[in-house]
Amino acid sequence: MLVLGRRVRQWVQVGDDIYITIHRIQGDKVRIGIFAPQGVKILRTELIQRSCHAREGSTGGQLVLTRRENEAIRIGAHITITVVKVSRRRVRLGFEAPKKVAIRRVESPAILV
């Protein structure tokens, strides 16, 4: 697992076309923005555990989810993002992805240009 610290309005790029940003930190909760291509399934991990609800979830586009420590988001079939720690100004996110998927911090993502 790769763990990166991010502050509000900072970004992480996952692969070539998925972007993650921190919208807001409030108490023990963090609002995470996800920008992914259409057709990429985005699920809260508690829905994955309930097989009858596994079809629910977004399929790409822009999505904002609220998460707490130790809660996760699954993007596609192989990428998992876990909120490791939430503090007043910083969030530590854990990324699990195949080795071929590049994960990097970005200052101004291409989707905003």
Tens of pLDDT, residues 34-92? 999 998 989 887 765 554 444 556 666 788 999 999 999 999 889 999 999 999 899 99
Supply the pTM of this predicted model.
Answer: 0.85
Alpha carbon distance 47, 6 (integer Å): 26
pLDDT at 77: 87
* Count of other CB atoms within 10 angstroms of residue 78: 11
Q: Which residue, among 107, 55, 103, has the nearest Cα to 79 in the 3D structure? A: 103
Residue 107 token pair = 């200052």
How far are the Cα atoms of 5, 17, 27, 79, 83 from residue 96, in angstroms, in the given order? 15, 16, 25, 6, 12
Can you give the pLDDT at residue 53? 47
